[in-house]
Structure formats: structure tokens, C-alpha cells
């Protein structure tokens, strides 16, 4: 014990010296080969297998944060994969704030790793030393970087991020050493300027430690439900209540309490609207078969929900922008016929917005093709180009468009708002809402105008979509396994 304490003191001293030199060593991948595969090829295979078997409903709302477990991958990797799979619709972020509760030391604040890189078998991830330096000006963050060196809570999340995110990203690694809500509020205040759509927050935590299987499910369900409320007060109340119970072997309700509290407080301080979704839950008993003492794991996403003003502003296009959209759509079809494209000019900023779109073709007033996407992984002008081509040549309901027909078609472009899950079909406003139904790998959608054109009420709308689009039968939408989403679209016609 004395040797370990001495080593820690020496490391802290070394990092203090490096701080003054503004030169930081890389943080080594100390858990590689222990918590996850140490060989890069084996790690890539593991991540591909885990991620490829996850199907989530597409959602254009941008993920602001995920909560993911941090045990060894053989125990919690399956659950962590669900958290990071939720990023696939929006796979680009400028910075990733990795936040966990220290598992090696207690101290009255937070420690930010100052610079250099975090190493993993998949490569090195750079630390944003400018943000780290700015945070460390606040005394609540001014704790030694040595607290990161042997702690696993942040390292195990990195390979998932490297696998799913596109482009380069920087990290701001933060471990918190306190449960004081006063200090956690200070930490949240300091992080608030960075809590925006440019940045992702990854919160590392497991749930209950060492109760029986049945008690874990009972208490973990309460904690998860409190997180889904978005209230730091309710979350704290439930955690305190659970930890005050007399459950045998109940060590903690959630080991990352301080990290989760910080996220919930950030959501409250931002004044924005957010939605939380539980993506997966298991406990170690489901893996090992040992039901006497277990640890709980969950994956949760937190998404930013734009308000009505944000939506209408982002989806409103002037006459010139509309002309660009239709020129892009027609050029995509012209290319197939070797017709010279019309000039588009410099792509307008709004056409670089990432949002879903449907492109519909009409010939003599009748439908001739319609294909769309809900995903936000590409900019609008790219989505328009791809969907226009697909509507003309890949809609299996029709023969490919001919060059003779091309001169006669009219194009309609529907720009989509983020989807919202509903529990009651009476929430569907005919003429305003489109619907998206999902049951397992089966799904289907109708745009808002379909119900109006057919004269359907809400039940007829979902029944037809259920039978003819999702392929789950006329009453399939009533199944508890079917999720129903609504969205709006802004329709532009030539």
C-alpha cells in the first residue's frame, strides 16, 4: 500500500512538472487485453459484430449525449454497443467530452487530462488541449492528471467511438472525484458553454453493484426511470432512496452518479428540450449465469429536440434555394441519360443542413416514383441527389424512368423534421404528420400528404401503413412490439 501511494505521489509530481512545460505524455491503453481485445484486428472484428446486429429506428434528432457502461466487453460490451449505435445517424462531432466518476481516488472536484493523446489498439485520439486548459483555469477542475492513468472508466468507451464516428474528433477526458452536488453544479456550470450540437457527451457508468439478480432489476429500473425524467433532483432522490434500503450486498445504486448528475444538470441549465431513450438493459447475471451478486448495465441516449421556431427556420427555403434543390434533383436524373447538367452554382448554406428528405416524381398527375431517407449522415443537397436518382430508377413499384418521360415529370421534395415517438394514434394530426412504423427489422412510412390524398382518418392511416408499407399486417401496429413515430414535412413543388 505504501509503495502504491508513493507511486501515485511521484506520478502527480511528474504531471505537475509537465503542466508547466505544456507538454503531455500520451495516456496508455492500460486496459487493452484485459477489458477488451488488445489486438487491433480482433478489436475491429468484435466491434463490427456487435454493431452490425443492432437495428435502431432512424431519427434525425441529434444525439447530444449517451450513457454507456464500462465493464469488460465480455460483460457490458453488448450494451455499450447500443449506446454508440445511436450515433450512426449523426456520426460527426467536433469534440467528445468523456465523463466518468473516478474509480481510483476521491477528491473535491474533477480532473481533466491536459493534452497529448489517449492510446487504443485502433490508434491515438487527440485531447483538445485548448478546452482542457480553459477548464483547468477553474479550481474545481484543477486536480492532477495522474487520476486518469490507471482508471478504466473512460478508456473502454474510446474504441466504440473510433469505430462509429466519422472524421477526426478530439476528446476532453474528465474524471470526477466528488459526489457533492454543490461541486457538481460548479462542474456543470463550467461545461455549459460546450453543451451544444457540435459536441458529444459520453457518460460512463454501470448501475447497481452486487445485489441479487431480482433486486438489481428492481432497483436499476427505478434508477433508469429517474434518468429518463431528465431531472437531476429526481435522479438524486431515487439513488439516495435505493442506497438507503437494506438490500443485501447492495454496494451502490450507480457507480457513475456524479457523471450522470452532471449530464442531467447540463440539460436543465441549457433550457433546451431533450428526449431520453433507454436502448438496452441487462445485468451480469444474464452473461455469467451467477444470479447471487450482479452488476447492472444500461445504454441511454439523450437527444436535442429543436423547438418549433428552430424547426421552421431550418426548414424554410427561399426561392433561390428551392431552385437549387430542383436543379440538383433533375441533374441527378439527367446523368443517367447522359444529358448535360444545368448549373447549380455554389451550394447555399441551408442545403448543407443534415436532415431527411423524400423525393416524389409525378407523371401526368400520377405517382411515378418516391424514395426517401430519414437519416442525417449526409447534407441535404446530397440526400436530394441520391433520393431523386433512386425515385427515378430504384422504386421497385415502377419500371425505371425513361428519357421520354423525364421531360414530362414534376418533382416534389419533402424536407423532414425529426421524428417523435407516440403511444396513442390520436396524437396524429392528419395533414400535418407523417408516420413511421417499426417492428424489429420491418418498417414502413407514409408522408403527411398521403392521408389527405386518400381521405383516411388516423386509424386508417396507420392500418394501411402497417399492412402495405411495414408488412406486419393490418393490425400489426397494435402490437406492443411495434413503435409508432410521427414527423412533419415541408413540401416544395416545381
pLDDT for position 488: 87
Statement to judge: residues 115 and 174 lie in one domain: yes
Q: Under a CB-based contact definition with an 8 Å cutoff, are residues 33 and 74 in contact?
A: no
Domain that holds residue 350: 311-493
Do residue 103 and residue 155 come from a single domain? yes
Domain end position, chosen among 272, 305, 338: 305
User: Could you give the count of Cα atoms lying within 13 Å of 19 in the half-sphere of its Cβ?
Assistant: 19
Cα 49 from chain centroid (whole Å): 19
Residues 246-281: pLDDT tens digits?
Answer: 999 999 999 999 999 999 999 999 998 898 999 999
Residue 77 belongs to a domain: yes
**383 and 405 housed in the same domain:** yes
- Mean pLDDT of the 1-29 span: 53
Mean residue pLDDT across the chain = 91
Q: Which of residues 259, 286, 305 is at a domain's end?
A: 305
CA distance 485 to 279: 16
Domain count, the chain: 2
Contact 448, 442 (CB under 8 A): no
Nearest to 113 by CA among 158, 72, 67, 76: 158
Asked whether residue 323 falls in the same domain as residue 263, the answer is no
Sign of the CA dihedral 456, 460, 461, 465? negative
- Select from 305, 325, 353 the last residue of a domain: 305
Measured CA distances, 37 to 98, 229, 421 (Å): 21, 36, 37
- Do 298 and 447 fall within a single domain? no
Q: What is the pLDDT of residue 310?
A: 55
User: What's the CA gap between 220 and 239, in Å, rounded?
Assistant: 10
Confirm whether 125 is domain-assigned: yes
Same domain, 265 and 392: no
Q: What is the mean pLDDT of residues 8-37?
A: 69
Please, what's the largest Cα pairwise distance for the chain?
A: 85
In a domain, 19, yes or no: no
221 and 83 co-located in one domain: yes
Say if residue 324 is in the same domain as residue 368.
yes
Query: What distances in angstroms separate CA 141 from CA 126, 174, 178, 464, 491, one per listed residue?
Result: 19, 9, 11, 56, 49
pLDDT at 130 over 80: yes
Sign for the CA dihedral angle at 172, 176, 179, 185 comes to: negative
Q: Is the same domain home to 438 and 327? A: yes
CA distance 347 to 399: 32
**β-pair partners for 68:** 204
Q: Is this structure's pTM higher than 0.75?
A: no
In a domain, 418, yes or no: yes
pLDDT of 6: 39
pLDDT at residue 146 in the model: 93
79 and 155 inside one domain:
yes
pLDDT score at 419 = 81
Would residue 166 count as lying in a domain?
Answer: yes
My answer on whether 267 and 384 are in the same domain is: no
Can you list the alpha helix ranges (DSSP code H) found in 244-303?
Answer: 257-270, 284-288
Q: Is residue 153 part of a domain?
A: yes
State whether 156 and 195 are in the same domain.
yes
Amino acid at each position: 500500500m505504501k509503495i502504491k501511494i508513493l507511486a501515485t505521489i511521484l506520478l502527480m509530481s511528474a504531471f505537475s512538472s509537465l503542466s508547466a512545460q505544456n507538454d503531455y505524455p500520451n495516456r496508455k491503453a492500460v486496459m487493452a487485453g484485459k477489458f477488451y481485445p488488445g489486438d487491433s484486428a480482433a478489436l475491429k472484428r468484435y466491434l463490427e459484430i456487435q454493431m452490425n446486429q443492432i437495428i435502431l429506428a432512424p431519427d434525425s434528432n441529434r444525439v447530444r449525449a449517451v450513457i454507456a457502461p464500462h465493464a469488460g466487453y465480455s460483460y457490458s460490451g453488448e450494451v455499450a454497443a447500443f449506446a454508440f449505435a445511436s450515433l450512426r445517424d449523426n456520426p460527426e462531432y467536433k469534440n467528445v467530452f468523456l465523463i466518468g466518476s473516478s474509480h481510483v481516488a476521491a477528491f473535491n472536484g474533477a480532473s481533466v487530462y491536459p493534452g497529448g493523446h489517449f492510446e487504443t489498439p485502433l490508434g491515438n485520439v487527440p485531447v483538445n488541449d485548448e478546452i482542457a486548459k480553459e477548464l483547468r483555469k477553474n479550481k474545481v477542475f484543477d486536480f492532477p492528471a495522474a487520476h486518469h492513468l490507471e482508471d478504466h472508466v473512460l478508456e473502454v468507451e474510446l474504441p466504440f467511438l473510433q469505430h462509429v464516428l466519422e472524421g477526426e474528433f478530439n476528446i476532453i477526458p474528465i474524471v470526477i472525484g466528488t459526489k457533492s452536488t454543490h461541486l457538481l453544479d460548479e462542474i456543470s456550470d463550467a461545461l455549459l458553454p460546450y453543451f451544444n450540437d457540435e459536441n458529444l457527451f459520453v457518460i460512463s457508468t454501470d448501475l447497481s453493484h452486487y445485489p441479487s439478480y431480482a433486486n438489481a432489476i428492481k432497483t436499476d429500473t427505478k434508477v433508469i426511470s429517474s434518468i429518463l425524467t431528465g431531472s437531476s433532483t429526481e435522479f438524486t432522490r431515487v439513488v439516495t432512496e435505493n442506497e438507503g434500503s437494506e438490500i443485501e450486498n447492495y454496494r451502490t445504486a450507480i457507480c457513475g452518479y456524479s457523471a450522470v448528475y452532471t449530464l442531467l444538470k447540463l440539460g436543465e441549465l441549457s433550457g433546451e428540450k431533450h428526449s431520453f431513450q433507454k436502448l438496452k438493459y441487462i445485468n451480469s447475471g444474464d452473461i455469467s449465469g451467477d444470479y447471487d451478486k450482479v452488476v447492472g448495465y444500461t445504454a441511454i441516449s439523450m437527444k436535442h429536440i429543436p423547438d418549433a421556431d428552430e424547426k421552421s427556420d431550418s426548414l424554410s427555403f427561399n426561392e433561390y434555394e428551392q431552385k437549387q434543390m430542383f436543379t440538383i434533383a433533375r441533374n441527378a436524373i439527367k446523368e443517367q441519360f447522359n444529358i448535360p447538367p444545368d448549373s447549380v452554382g455554389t451550394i447555399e448554406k441551408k442545403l448543407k443542413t443534415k436532415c431527411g428528405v423524400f423525393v416524389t416524381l409525378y407523371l401526368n398527375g400520377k405517382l411515378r416514383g418516391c424514395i426517401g431517407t430519414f437519416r442525417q449522415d449526409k447534407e441535404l443537397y446530397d440526400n436530394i441527389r441520391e433520393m431523386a436518382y433512386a425515385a427515378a430508377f430504384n422504386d421497385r413499384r415502377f419500371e425505371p424512368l425513361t428519357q421520354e418521360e423525364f421531360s414530362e415529370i414534376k418533382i416534389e421534395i419533402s424536407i423532414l423534421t425529426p421524428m417523435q415517438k407516440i403511444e396513442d394514434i390520436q396524437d396524429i394530426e392528419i395533414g400535418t404528420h407523417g408516420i413511421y412504423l417499426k417492428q424489429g427489422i420491418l418498417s414502413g412510412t407514409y408522408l403527411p400528404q398521403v392521408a389527405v390524398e386518400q381521405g383516411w382518418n388516423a386509424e386508417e392511416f396507420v392500418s394501411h401503413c402497417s399492412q402495405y408499407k411495414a408488412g406486419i399486417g393490418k393490425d400489426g401496429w397494435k402490437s406492443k412490439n411495434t413503435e409508432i413515430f410521427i414527423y412533419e414535412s415541408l413540401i416544395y413543388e416545381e
